[in-house]
Amino acid sequence: MPSVYIKTYGCQMNERDSEQVASQLVAKGYSLAPSEAMADVILLNTCSVRDAAEQKALNKMENIAAETRRSRPDVVLGFMGCMAQSRGRELIDRLPDVDLVIGTQKFHHAPDYLDDILAGRRKRIVDVAEEAGSQSTIRDHLLNGNGHKAVSAFVSIMQGCNQYCTFCIVPYTRGAERSRPIEDIVAECRELAARGVKEVTLLGQIVTSYGKREIGMKDGKSAFVQLLEAVHEIDGLERIRFTSPHPKGYGDDLVQAYSRLPKLVESAHIPVQSGSDRMLKAMHRGYTRKRFVSIIEKLREVNPRMGVTTDIIVGFPGEAEADFEETLSLAREAQFDNAFIFKYSPRRDTPAAILPDQLPQEIKEERNARLLQLVNEIGARKYRACVGQRVQILAEGPSRKNPARMMGRTRSNKIVVFDGSERHRGQIMDVNVTRAGSFTLYGDPAIINLD
């Protein structure tokens, strides 16, 4: 049977989609190649959120095509995911060595399409159509992809987004909001727990809109909170996370869920994008700075240890120095544990791309650097404040930077590196934090005194 190598760009949703394709291929008898040089099939699962992500995948495919077409002309090359969806056939016109283009509603057809191409029945396949029910096809897991049992798993609960922020390509690449039923998601999580998974991260482009149409409110609780409650019931599951919510749909029921559901760990990633109400309006975000700050205040009231992170865009069209200063002041006010900063990148089909007042690259760079410095200072202070504390972590496996050591995450989503071994993998354990590095903590496992 052939071997496949899948390279993933972009967000957790993309990682999850790649896992779906890989697990279906493994179920069919394919092996997972350790590198593209060893693979019979090379798939790039792409991201369109910024131009740089698209360029990376395009350059990569160009290099792969140049390399494989010389030495191994039978290797099958494919694009999947967001850029495949937004560019479709254009990708083959540009890179004629590409055999397969699979959009975001068609991942589950990858095995059949590869069969057809490998058997010579079809030469090229482009499928970027919509498919009813495709949100329910991302449900299979590869639980020992690298020879170890997974401790933490992503679970896709919905697809698409109806918010249409003016900078954002997601509604065009992922389509309209479609949610899976609560029972299906619970069954998937239960199966994961039975196979040893301790933590799930519920994924969607806008999870606060989960089940709005399909399920609706019940007893004053949104469909998303009903889902959290149902997943919380699962024995063996110890931790629940989710990403990403939207401030507009962040109701008090969700804030309260953090106090009622102990498995819902005290970590909140809430994209704010800007601290200026004028920019938030131009971005079509649907909330004010004041409303965002009040959500964070409420979350910290529920649990003062809440880890709060965000996404921020600098250099949106028309952003004046005064608007940017509002973003700086928001970062000071909100005291984020970390913030991911992005330079505005015009995206095809989005309203902001054709706004008149596009900012020069130098201004984007300069604002990015200023905000990054502030975010790093605040983050460093927050991480230093953990030194001397005892924190609970879930040990995930070897540290990526130093595989001789192990890593885990605190409930508030901070990485902790510690001296440990494989026997710690999957354990919920206490560690004493001894040192803080750049967005990393170092700690010693706490010895439990049993007398």
Q: How far is the CB of 389 from ligand 5AD (least distance, A)?
A: 30
| Interface stretch with ligand 5AD, choices 25-33, 37-45, 100-108, 339-347 (CB under 6 A) | 339-347
Q: Applying CB under 6 A, does 50 fall inside the site for ligand 5AD?
A: yes
Residues 231-270 that bind ligand 5AD (CB under 6 A): none
- Token pair, residue 380, equals 């460093």
Backbone angles phi, psi at 222, to 5 degrees: -70, 160
Q: Provide the minimum distance between the beta carbon of 307 and ligand 5AD in the complex, in angstroms, as a whole number.
A: 17
CA torsion 316-318-321-323 (nearest 10°) is -70
Contacts (CB under 6 A) with ligand 5AD, residues 283-302: none
CA distance 437 to 105: 41
Please state, in angstroms and rounded to a whole number, the distance separating the CA atoms of residues 221 and 216.
9
Tell me which of 13, 168, 330, 417 binds ligand 5AD, using CB under 6 A.
168
347 binds ligand 5AD (CB under 6 A): yes
Q: Which of 13, 49, 185, 207 binds ligand 5AD (CB under 6 A)?
A: 49
Q: How far apart are CA 295 and CA 312, in angstroms?
A: 17
CB distance 307 to 413 below 8 Å: yes
Give the interface size with ligand 5AD as a residue count (CB under 6 A): 12
Task: Give the number of other CB atoms < 10 A from CB of residue 76.
Answer: 19
List all residues 6 or more positions away from 356 whose beta carbon is below 8 Å from its beta carbon: 317
Sheet holding 338-343, edge to edge: 267-269, 307-314, 338-343
Q: Which stretch binds ligand 5AD (CB under 6 A): 133-141, 202-210, 286-294, 338-346?
A: 338-346
Size of the chain, expressed as the number of residues it contains: 451
- The smaller minimum CB distance to ligand 5AD, of residues 313 and 436, is found at 313
Q: Please, which residue, 220 or 340, has the CB nearer to ligand 5AD?
A: 340
CB of 221 to ligand 5AD, least distance (A): 26
Tokens standing for 17? 């989609």
User: 392: how many CB neighbours lie within 10 A of its CB?
Assistant: 18
Mask of contacts with ligand 5AD, 130-159, x by CB under 6 A? ------------------------------
Least distance in angstroms from the C-beta of 311 to ligand 5AD: 3
Figure out which of the listed residues 97, 140, 311, 333 binds ligand 5AD, where binding follows CB under 6 A. Answer: 311
Binding ligand 5AD by CB under 6 A: which of 5, 336, 344, 442?
344
Evaluate whether 231 touches 182 at the Cβ level (below 8 Å).
no
Q: What is the DSSP letter of 104?
A: T
Does residue 271 touch ligand 5AD according to CB under 6 A?
yes
Q: Which two three-digit tokens encode residue 379? A: 């983050």
Interacting residues with ligand 5AD (CB under 6 A):
49-50, 167-168, 271, 273, 311, 313, 342, 344-345, 347
